[in-house]
Amino acid sequence: MANYQQLSLNHLSFTYQHDRNPVLDDLTVSVPLNRIIGIIGNHHAGKTTLCRVLAGIVPQIISGKLTGDCQIGDQSPVRDWPAYNQQTGFVLQDPHSQLSGLADTVADEIAFDLLNHGVKETDIQQRVTTVAAQLQLTAQLQQSPDSLSGGQLQRLAIATAIVTHPNVLILDDPTSEMDPQGRRDFFNWLKTVTHTTIVIVSNEIDELCETADELWILEKGHLVSHGTPLQVMNHLNPEWQVTTPMVYQLARLMNWPLAIKPTLFPVTLNQLRRCVNVNHSNQ
C-alpha cells in the first residue's frame, strides 16, 4: 500500500533516447514529505536528470526509457502530469531559460505564472511583493530582467518558482552565480520554508549540511548513500570524491567527536560548538 506522506523512488531507472547506458540506475529510497533533500555527486552522476524526473520533465518533455516508479505524496510526476506540474516549482541550472522573456520588469516576470492561472490582481501584487522581499529583489522590481546580475537572475528564477506556492520545489544548482553573501542569505531563507518538499542540487556542501534534513549521493547514476548529513558525511567512500564540510575537517583535525556518538564527527556549527564545550569542560 502506498505511503502518501513520502517521496519515494522504487527501482527508478532512466535512459535518454538514443543512449545505450542508463543515466539513473535502479534508485530506491524514501523520505518523509516537507523535508529538504540535498543531492550531491560529481559530474555525470545523474543529478540534473533526477531533478527532471522529479519535476516530470522526464519523460513527458524529454524522451527516454523510464522504468520503476516515482511517487511524491499521492501523485506521480510520471503518471499524473500535468496536474502534478501545477503543484511543482522547478528552478533550472540556467536562470535565463527559466524566464518567460516576455516581461518588461522583474515584477511582471514574477507575476507571469499567476496571471496565466487567473489569480486576482490584488493577490498577485501581494504575492509579488512578499516573494521579492524574501529573495531581496524589492529594489529591482521595476527594472528589466536583462539588467540583473547573474546572482539576481538566479533569485528571480527562484521567485518565479515559489510565487505559485508549490507543494514541491526542485532546485538544480540555484546558487552557482551568487556571491558568498547571496548564497548564505539564500540558504538561511531556505530554512524558513515550510509545508514544502524541497530537493536541491548544490556543490555548497557546508550550507547543505547546515540546511538539509537528508543527503543523497549519486555516483555514475547509482544512489550510493542517503541519510542525515551527519550519517552520510561520516561514512563516505573515498572513491566517491565527495568534499566534506569545513566543520567536519576541523573536528577530525582536532579529534573532537560527538560526545553522544563518539564514532561520529560534527558536520554543523551547532554540533561543533557542543563538541568544543565538552572538550573544554574535560580539560
Asked if residue 77 and residue 50 are part of one domain, the reply reads yes
If asked whether residues 68 and 37 sit together in one domain, one would say: yes
Coil, helix or strand at residue 75:
strand
Residue 1 lies in a domain: no
pLDDT-derived band at 127 (thresholds 50, 70, 90) equals very high
pLDDT for residue 1: 47
On whether the CB atoms of residues 190 and 111 are closer than 8 A, the answer is no
E strand or H helix at 59: helix 57-60
Q: How many domains does the chain have?
A: 2
175 and 273 in a single domain? The answer is no
- 189 with 88, same domain: the answer is yes
**Are residues 18 and 147 located together in one domain of the fold?**
yes
116 lies in some domain: yes
- pLDDT of the residue at 2: 60
Q: Is residue 75 within 8 Å of residue 84, measured between CB atoms?
A: yes
Q: Which amino acid is at 254?
A: M
User: pTM here?
Assistant: 0.94
Give the span between the Cα atoms of 113 and 97, in whole angstroms.
15
Cβ neighbourhood burial of 103 (10 Å; 0-12, 13-18, 19+):
middle
Residue matched to cell numbers 563538541: 275
Which residue did the predictor score with more confidence, 2 or 158?
A: 158
Instruction: Determine, yes or no, domain membership for 143.
Output: yes
For 72-106, write each residue's pLDDT tens digit.
999 999 889 888 888 999 999 899 888 998 999 99
Same-domain check for residues 276 and 211: no
Backbone torsions φ then ψ of 153, nearest 5 degrees: -65, -40
Query: Would you say residue 16 has pLDDT above 50?
Result: yes
Do 57 and 146 share a domain, yes or no?
yes
**Domain span holding position 250:** 245-283
Same domain assignment for residues 74 and 179: yes
Which domain CATH number covers 40? 3.40.50.300
Q: Looking at the domain assignment, is residue 265 inside a domain?
A: yes
Nearest partner of 78 among 91, 92, 64, judged by Cα: 64
pLDDT at 278: 67
Mean pLDDT rounded to a whole number for the chain: 94
pLDDT value for 226: 98
Residues 130 and 250 in one domain: no
pLDDT of residue 279: 61
For range 49-68, the mean pLDDT? 95
Residue 152 lies in a domain: yes
> Which tens digit of pLDDT belongs to each residue from 234-282?
999 999 999 999 999 999 999 999 988 889 999 999 999 988 876 655 5
Q: Is residue 46 part of a domain?
A: yes
Verify that 108 and 170 share a domain, yes or no: yes
Residue 10: per-residue pLDDT? 97
Closest CA to 51 of 229, 199, 263, 203: 199
Residue 226 lies in a domain: yes
| Residues 81 and 199 reside in one and the same domain | yes
Same domain, 251 and 148: no
**Using one digit for the tens of pLDDT, what is the confidence trace for 163-214?**
999 999 999 999 999 999 999 999 999 999 999 999 999 999 999 999 999 9
